[in-house]
Structure 1
Amino acid sequence: MEKKMAGFCIFFLILFLAQEYGVEGKECLNLSDKFKGPCLGSKNCDHHCRDIEHLLSGVCRDDFRCWCNRKC
């Protein structure tokens, strides 16, 4: 009986871990089309990409431009 219970617990543990480490869609980084001016704070860029362009996220890079993440 204990072996069945241990096997049952291991099965659900593996099932749970498989959900945590599932495959996610590929993301692409693209230059923002609508962001104006130099990108000095990633928080502003992230807000712009999410709320204005309806993309996943945004980040300022070392070229002072806003780059947005989107699903490929």
Structure 2
Amino acid sequence: MALSRRMAASALLLLVLLVATEMGATTTKVAEARDCLSQSFKFKGACLSSSNCAAVCHTENFPDGECHRQHLELKCFCKRPC
């Protein structure tokens, strides 16, 4: 009888610990910023370097730019947070 009480007490303690750790674990949801893309008007030729693309995008008042494949061609797309 003493063994079953001890087992019940241990099981109850384990259950309380599991519930407490689940309640104590706070999950923080962080919203990720989305980027809006716009094809560069000034970039000429195939986009082979995202750093060159970004430099041209700076002249178009965009903070960044990167190469993307569009219809089997690599084109420069300027991006900014939406």
Alignment TM-score > 0.5, same fold: yes
**TM-score where L is the length of structure 1:** 0.56
**TM-score where L is the length of structure 2:** 0.50
* Aligned match of 1:56: 63
Closer/same/farther in 2, CA of residues 61 and 26 from structure 1, 3 Å limit: closer
- In the alignment, structure 1 segments of 5+ residues that lack a partner are 1-21
- In the alignment, structure 2 segments of 5+ residues that lack a partner are 1-29
| Counterparts of residues 26-65 of structure 1 (less than 5 Å) | 26-50=34-58, 52-62=59-69, 63-65=73-75
Greater Rg over alpha carbons, structure: 2
Deviation at 1:70, TM superposition (A): 2.6
Opposite residue 68 of structure 2, the aligned amino acid is: R
Identity of aligned residues (%): 42
Q: Which has the higher strand share?
A: 2
- Please tell me the root mean square deviation across aligned C-alpha atoms, in Å: 2.1
